[in-house]
């Protein structure tokens, strides 16, 4: 299914990072979610990490209770996170690989290698009517694994592409973008809903947003950083506009 309107999920983790630097209640991730919603976000994404370095259990409870947009809970494939997801029943759960020592989610999930570990988790989340997404590298083997696990959605990791853009390595950028294009097309053909995210900015979002097979982008760190300079409302609106322009141009091409 190719979505004419590309959805934007705003990841608010780093509002919590700033709040936690002082341990109080400000800035409030729920307030950020409301501003993002008013500025054109279609969903809110939050990653409850094992070490609770940014989003906390109380944030997930508050977001589930107080926002109108669909909540996408990013979670590691653990019993603890499964229990939390089943308790709050977010609209979606995106299963991500998690290593305590990493700064951010540095690679995709090995859905193929971890089939037996993931299968009951995907089944239980799906049984609770939570839309399961697997955060994977743009790789056919991982797409096939998502299908065999019965996950309806995959999110393609755009981090390597984003790094190549920053490095100014055009050859590598083109190669990595082509890989995302191919994975989006293959995923769609397999019946998966395809999302993408990680490391997206005003400068690199266009070529990804233009890929017609991609239904949703999840963007966080850059938007929250940019909000320091221009405000969150303005940052989300600009991202939304860039995504829409690129999608229109992609559909017209």
Interaction site with ligand PXP (CB under 6 A) = 11, 13, 47, 74, 94, 96, 104-105, 135, 155, 197-200, 218-222
Catalytic residue among 47, 54, 88, 195: 47
| φ and ψ of 17, to 5 deg | -60, -45
Q: Cβ closer to ligand PXP: 74 or 193? A: 74
Distance of closest approach, residue 199 Cβ to ligand PXP, in angstroms: 5
DSSP string computed for 119-139 = HHHHHHHHHTT-EEEEEE-S-
Distance of closest approach, residue 13 Cβ to ligand PXP, in angstroms: 6
CB 138 within 8 A of CB 157: yes
Report d(CA 159, CA 145) in Å as an integer. 21
Helix, strand, coil: what percent of the chain each, to 5? 50, 15, 35
Distance of closest approach, residue 33 Cβ to ligand PXP, in angstroms: 15
| DSSP element (H, E) containing 106 | none
Virtual torsion, Cα 130, 158, 48, 101, nearest 10 deg: 140
Answer yes or no: 221 catalytic: no
Answer yes or no: 226 catalytic: no
Q: Cβ closer to ligand PXP: 187 or 199? A: 199
Answer yes or no: 14 catalytic: no
Nearest residue to 187 (alpha-carbon basis) of 132, 139, 131, 248: 139
Distance of closest approach, residue 132 Cβ to ligand PXP, in angstroms: 13
Catalytic residue among 14, 54, 195, 198: 198
Catalytic residue among 14, 74, 98, 195: 74
Q: Cβ closer to ligand PXP: 31 or 163? A: 163
Q: Cβ closer to ligand PXP: 104 or 171? A: 104
Assigned token pair, 119? 């299968």
Residues labelled as active-site residues: 47, 74, 198
């Amino acid at each position: 299914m190719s979505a004419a309107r590309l959805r934007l999920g705003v990841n608010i983790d780093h509002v919590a990072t700033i709040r936690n630097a002082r341990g109080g209640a400000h800035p409030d991730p729920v307030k950020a979610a409301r501003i993002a919603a008013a500025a054109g976000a279609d969903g809110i994404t939050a990653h409850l990490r094992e070490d609770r370095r940014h989003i906390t259990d109380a944030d997930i409870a508050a977001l589930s209770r107080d926002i109108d947009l669909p909540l996408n809970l990013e979670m590691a494939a653990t019993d603890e996170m499964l229990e939390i997801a089943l308790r709050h029943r977010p609209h979606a759960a995106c299963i991500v690989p998690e290593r305590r020592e990493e700064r951010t989610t540095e690679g995709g999930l090995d859905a193929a290698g971890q089939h037996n570990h993931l299968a009951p988790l995907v089944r239980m989340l799906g049984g609770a009517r939570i839309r399961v997404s697997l955060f994977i590298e743009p790789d056919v083997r991982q797409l096939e694994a998502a299908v065999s696990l019965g996950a309806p959605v995959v999110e393609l990791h755009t981090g390597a592409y984003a790094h190549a853009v920053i490095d100014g390595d055009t050859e590598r950028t083109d190669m990595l973008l082509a890989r995302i294009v191919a994975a989006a097309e293959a995923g769609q053909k397999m019946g998966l809903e395809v999302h993408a995210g990680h490391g997206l900015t005003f400068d690199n979002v266009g070529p990804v947003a233009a890929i017609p097979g991609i239904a949703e982008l999840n963007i966080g760190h850059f938007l929250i950083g940019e909000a320091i300079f221009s405000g969150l409302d303005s940052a989300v609106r600009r991202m939304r506009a860039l995504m829409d322009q690129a999608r229109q141009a992609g559909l017209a091409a």
